[in-house]
Structure 1
């Protein structure tokens, strides 16, 4: 069962008796999942499961749904805010999709390229990871990537991201929908950030805000993504292509592009390319966190040639895994995405920096 097909099932786009039968099956499993989530949260709420504090401020960035909601750009944004205010920061994440315990996953590689001075510790045991980061790097703050459901580690601020283009996972928890836990869990959030507001009409953003406000009194912040250029991986050795390292979108319109991705929300990436009016002649999607092998790269090049494309475009997360400036004779670029908070920025900045008021007073 492929992921795209399953998404068509849960969204209701896939029609026919077989699709209806699968939806019934998923419905039958949903109460089991919902009970398991309720029981686990109840244990933490009542104190029957311990919440462990660490010797640094912990800022959790998470979401309610599976798939991409913009957590990595938010991690970058928070980390850079802390750096600008002379606070040392480390990142902790599970490391989902890594080849082994010693190899960073694609998200860690992307964060390394964007935040080279920020230590990043990956470990399924987030408490152990945070303690290791604090001990080795003496950080003031831990940014906990994808931490909303990982309740064993205490946090000082819970930031929850909601994707405006599919805010509530088709209205159902897993496996019938994409919600990792019910919408009512937003009551645990300290701040809710609605991402990708540029992907939908203003009335849909307003409806999402109202739905969130019905569950929590937490501040609601609005964010969007912008793309102004494409960039290329460069080896330390002499480059093998005449293409520049970075090209503005305006100059990219002359190319014939073929897109590929292995991310949680490929629709958003492809929508960005369409909005930028790039001449994209075809695309291939791989499973989130997929590790590209030589066979995959050959498949991409063959498909690009068949489509008549002379350039390849992917996401930053994909490019750091490939670590090359071309695949075959096709140069490969990544779309440079910038994250912008356009409503509520002052409020979220203040909430974050207030955590360190005592520390600043002692300096």
Structure 2
């Protein structure tokens, strides 16, 4: 995460010093969006509905579990969903790229590999979401596309926008980059179709909670309930947008946590997850995608699933029916 992240969640001298730059950033973001809305910059519409899942802040807010939930929900309703994403952190020499369950996360990004493994849906990634969407439709018979992130990728026309907010950190100090975490002014939320609060929800938001499903051994794939670690000390590893949320979830299940927080999308080495004391090492599923190759007997990944109220699904279907 950017070194300024420490200053983004309070009003402090550093943030105030950067306010002139934040004002410029906000103005440019507003002008860019206005250029697309007026037609001066052109958006491209794909031949199937597009649902964008994103946020207006920098850093993770829980988009990946929601995308997986949406893919499973839409498939249960008879849709044939496909997924696109930027492939953040991927080092592919050429874009767009198709993603499979066996793709190298160093090439296509960690979150796409996790999404494909959990959702079973086809997925393509690339900085140009339009090109990624076209490749997806060329290779698969999809009738709806979920865009993981891309709220600000206005070149891709969208039919439904879903914003995910971190229920604890919310919008931070409310300032745009670089004084705060906002990619766009807070007023942008008013025009979004559905707003989801991860952990806690404010007025007008649907509550999403992340429930642990199993703890998966990275070497042999065996699964145990999280409760089997209750009363034990573990090393907890998290390279996500808000590691504190993962650590607290473990504590809520009676686990004594030794914290090891890394930047979002961290590129792990063996030394990062070996502590030499024989204690179990519990990490997020996204981290487990990158650490599975190490084959250490102490490494486990905690799988979580999003839980949302019934009316969220009904409202989504109503929006798509338009």
- Check whether TM > 0.5: yes
Match of residue 159 from structure 2? 156
Q: State the Cα deviation string for residues 15-49 of structure 1 (Å, max 9, x = none).
A: xxxx73x3343223211211111111111122211
Match of residue 130 from structure 2? 127
Match of residue 202 from structure 1? none
Conserved? CA contact 2:234–2:256, under 8 Å: yes
Conserved? CA contact 1:56–1:142, under 8 Å: yes
Match of residue 76 from structure 1? 68
Describe the SS at the equivalent of 1:11: coil
Distance 1:180 1:277 in 2: 37
Match of residue 108 from structure 2? 104
Are positions 1:279 and 2:264 aligned together?
Answer: no
Conserved? CA contact 1:109–1:321, under 8 Å: no
User: Deviation at 1:324?
Assistant: 4.0
Kindly report which structure 2 residues correspond to 1:331-346, keeping only aligned pairs within 5 A, or say none.
Answer: 331-342=298-309, 345-346=310-311
Gaps of 5+ in 2: 98-106
Kindly report which structure 2 residues correspond to 1:160-171, keeping only aligned pairs within 5 A, or say none.
Answer: 160-171=163-174
Q: State the Cα deviation string for residues 38-82 of structure 1 (Å, max 9, x = none).
A: 111111122211111111111111111111111011111111111
Distance 2:283 2:173 in 1: 27
Greater per-residue helix proportion:
1
Gaps of 5+ in 1: 14-18, 198-204, 214-219, 359-363
Q: Which has the larger radius of gyration?
A: 1
From 212, 235, 239, the equivalent of 1:227 is 212
Are positions 1:322 and 2:281 aligned together?
Answer: no
From 5, 8, 15, the equivalent of 2:6 is 8
From 263, 273, 280, the equivalent of 1:300 is 273
Match of residue 95 from structure 1? 87
TM-score between the two structures when normalised by the length of structure 2: 0.89
The Cα RMSD (Å) is 2.2
Greater RCO (CA < 8 Å, at least 6 residues apart): 2
Q: Structure 1's 222 and 180: CA in aligned 2 closer, same or farther, altered over 3 A?
A: same
